[in-house]
Amino acid sequence: MKSKRIVVTRAVEQAGKLVAALENRGAIPVLYPCIAIAPPEDTRDIDYGLKMTVRGEYDWVVFTSINAVTAVAKRLDELGLERTRLSAAKIAAVGPGTADAIESHLEVGVTVVPPHHEAEGLVETLSDVSGDHVFLPQSDLARPILVNGLTNAGAIVKTAAAYRTVLGSGGADLPVLLFRNAIDAVTFTSSSTVDNFLERFSKEGGDLASLKNVCVVCLGAKTTKTAEDNGISVTATPPENTLEALVESLAAQFQNE
C-alpha cells in the first residue's frame, strides 16, 4: 500500500487507530470526517441508566461502539461517578476494539465479546439473559436489532442515547481530489459513515461516478449493504469486523501493484 492515498471517513475522535495502521503500511491517510460525535440534547435517560448501573440495578451493560464507551466515560465524570463502578454489572462489547476501549477508558473487565462483531453476534452470544436487566447506552441512530433480539430472549432492556451522530466537516477537499484521480481507496466503517458521506459529498459538489475507479472497502455486511443500496460499488468487505481486517483487506487489493 506504499504511497496509496486512502480516505478515512470516521469521526476525528475515532480516526487515530486507523490512520496509524495505514501509515504503518506506508499508505497516506486522507481525512474526510463524515460523522462527528455530539452529546445527547437531553441527558436524563443516560444519566438515569448510569446511576442505576453503579447502584447494581442492571445485570449487564452492553457497548456496541467505541463512541459509546468514550461518551459514557465522559458522562460518568460529569456526574461525579467513578468509572470503575460500572463493574457492578457484567460488561459485553461488540468487538475487540470496543473491549479494549472499555478496559482502558472505564477500567473494568469485559465479560463477553461475540465471535461475530456485530449486533447480531451480540444477540447470539447473549442468548441466556432471560429475566436479566440490560442497560444499552448507544447512538441516537442505533438499529433496533440488538434491543429486539435481547427482548425476545427475555431480557428487560433499557436504552439511552449516549451520543448523537451528526454530519462531519473539515479534512480534505475530496470532490476535487477524486476529480484529479488523486485517491486510491475510500473506507467506510459503519452505515452512518456511508449515509453522512452521501450527504456531505453531495453538498460539496461531489459526483458518485468519481468513485468508479476507486477501491471501496466497507467494514461489516450492514455497511456494505448501505453503500450498495445507495449506488456505491464495494470492492471488498473484510471477513472480520475489525480495523486490522480492514487494513489487511486494503493491502490485498494493492498487493500486485
Interval 69-98 mean pLDDT: 95
Question: pLDDT tens digit string along 17-40?
Answer: 999 999 999 999 999 999 999 999
Can you tell me the mean pLDDT for 218-240? 95
What percentage of the chain has pLDDT greater than the value 90? 88
What does DSSP say about strands 156-167 and 35-38: parallel, antiparallel, or unpaired?
antiparallel
Q: Residue 206 — pLDDT band, cuts 50, 70, 90?
A: very high
Domains annotated for the chain, with CATH where assigned, are 5-34+168-254 (3.40.50.10090), 44-164 (3.40.50.10090)
**The amino acid at 93:** A
Instruction: Name 252's Cβ contacts closer than 8 Å, sequence gap at least 6.
Output: 236
Q: What is the pLDDT of residue 247?
A: 96
pLDDT tens track for 167-188: 999 999 999 999 999 999 999 9
pLDDT of res. 147? 96
